[in-house]
Amino acid sequence: MSDIKKIKDEFFLKLKEDLNLNQINEIKNDLFGKNGLVSSQFKKLGSVAEEERKKFASELNTVKDELQNKLVKKIQEIESKEINQKLEKEKLDITLPERPFFKGKIHPVSQAIDEISSIFSEIGFSVEEGPDIENEYNNFTALNTPDNHPARDMHDTFYLDNKKELLLRTHTSPVQIRTMLKEKPPFKIIAPGRTYRSDSDQTHAPMFHQVEGLHIDKNINMGHLKGCLDYFIKEFFEIDKIKMRFRPSHFPFTEPSAEVDIGYEIKDGKIVIGEGDKWLEILGCGMVHPNVLKNVKIDTKKYQGYAFGIGIDRLAMLKYGINDLRAFFDCDYRWLNHFGFDPLDVPTNYRGLSR
């Protein structure tokens, strides 16, 4: 057996043992160090007979490669073993809680406003706003509710001056007036916002939310009004089949006026909107009164249209199953957490209104 083969066999055997990195390095040195066994063999190369030299060199190189590969492999084995041992020590109880996070929430009324805006956006309404403080003219007189009109009694108004000229708007309807005075027809707007009445009990809060709708153009009639609200109600409640009833009513600023009821039933103590045989009033609407259009200098021969006012809080209660109106404004952390929406849950038409 040649020396080379002997070295190979000897070291292959050695490398089978359980070694640590230092021992490997020693072996490495024994083989490939300055005076290492393999290195010495290479030094011999010059002295080997010429005809043998080629074969010798070839064998030597092969053995060198084999040994080196073996060493590398052995090192990898040891390293990986050491890492595994180390990781084993680092193992954590992964069921421990993660770093804490606090989920913010969007108020159900805000969510409802976004849903409502999204629905009306689809059929071409844009959003207008008006101030919470209104003058008596915009809130009443311009809306065909002159002073001493009994309809004013239906609105328990908060006043800001003794002359009763400045008040907190009792409905979002003055936004109609502001919009029509500011721009030229056609109009197709909704106006969500805060409204105020000095009324407070289980079902009334001194502040609540309404969304006003106004569509004025040539030839807009009650059929359009019915169509618009029918569309809205079905989209909002995300139910295809809802019974809807238009019932004659009276508002000074619309004529003819209607209140809209939707069908519902009580199932397991819960209100279920749809085709039940009970009626629930949800909004008021009508054709804008010619007197109102005249007050904002719109030619009633050319333009006509409809308006509606919807109680947002009430709609939100119905859709989200909330029983108590007052709770909306009580700011109870538990309630807000329970009924609030995730901020990423933005109602859109293409992703769906609600999850």
> Rule CB under 8 A: which of 325-354 touch another protein?
328-334, 336-337, 340, 343-344, 346
Pick from 159, 238, 275, 278 the residue near another protein by CB under 8 A.
159
Min. distance of Cβ 110 from another protein in angstroms?
6
Residue with tokens 């290479």: 42
- Output the DSSP codes for 168-185: E-SSSTHHHHHHHHHS-S
How many chain residues bind another protein (CB under 8 A)?
Answer: 89
Site string for another protein, 244-263 (x = CB under 8 A): -xxxxxx----xxxxx----
CA distance 72 to 91: 28
Pick 244 or 271: Cβ nearer another protein: 244
Half-sphere exposure of 311 toward its Cβ, with a 13 Å CA cutoff?
A: 22
Subset of 37-66 contacting another protein (CB under 8 A): none
Residue pair 70/10 in contact by the 8 Å Cβ criterion: no
CA distances 281 to 66, 246, 276, Å, are 90, 10, 14
How many CB atoms sit inside 10 A of residue 29's CB?
A: 13
Pick from 46, 97, 269, 352 the residue near another protein by CB under 8 A.
97
244: β partners: 262
Binding segment for another protein (CB under 8 A), chosen from 34-42, 76-84, 142-150, 262-270, is 142-150
Min. distance of Cβ 20 from another protein in angstroms?
36
Subset of 160-179 contacting another protein (CB under 8 A): 160-162, 166, 168
Best CA proximity match to 187, nearest among 289, 306, 299: 306
Pick from 24, 176, 191, 196 the residue near another protein by CB under 8 A.
196
Pick 21 or 346: Cβ nearer another protein: 346
Binding segment for another protein (CB under 8 A), chosen from 18-26, 70-78, 197-205, 268-276, is 197-205
Q: Is residue 149 involved in binding another protein (CB under 8 A)?
A: yes
Residue pair 254/171 in contact by the 8 Å Cβ criterion: no
Q: Is residue 241 involved in binding another protein (CB under 8 A)?
A: no
CA distances 103 to 146, 201, 328, Å, are 49, 32, 19
Min. distance of Cβ 187 from another protein in angstroms?
10
Q: Are strands 126-127 and 187-196 parallel, antiparallel or unpaired?
A: parallel
Pick 7 or 168: Cβ nearer another protein: 168
Q: Is residue 19 involved in binding another protein (CB under 8 A)?
A: no
**CA dihedral for 231, 232, 235, 237, sign (positive or negative):** negative
Q: Is residue 226 involved in binding another protein (CB under 8 A)?
A: yes
Min. distance of Cβ 79 from another protein in angstroms?
31
Min. distance of Cβ 280 from another protein in angstroms?
13
Pick 32 or 335: Cβ nearer another protein: 335
Subset of 260-299 contacting another protein (CB under 8 A): 287, 289-290
213: β partners: 190, 308
Pick 55 or 131: Cβ nearer another protein: 131
Subset of 108-137 contacting another protein (CB under 8 A): 109-110, 114, 117, 120-127, 129, 131-135
Pick 55 or 149: Cβ nearer another protein: 149
Pick from 182, 219, 240, 268 the residue near another protein by CB under 8 A.
219
CA distance 157 to 319: 29
Binding segment for another protein (CB under 8 A), chosen from 60-68, 83-91, 158-166, 264-272, is 158-166
φ, ψ at 117 (rounded to 5°): -60, -40
Pick from 14, 70, 194, 234 the residue near another protein by CB under 8 A.
194
CA distance 177 to 194: 17
Instruction: Pick left, alpha or beta for residue 86 (phi over 0 → left; psi -120 to 50 → alpha; otherwise beta).
Output: alpha
For residue 153, give the DSSP letter: G
CA distance 199 to 207: 9
Residue pair 324/202 in contact by the 8 Å Cβ criterion: yes
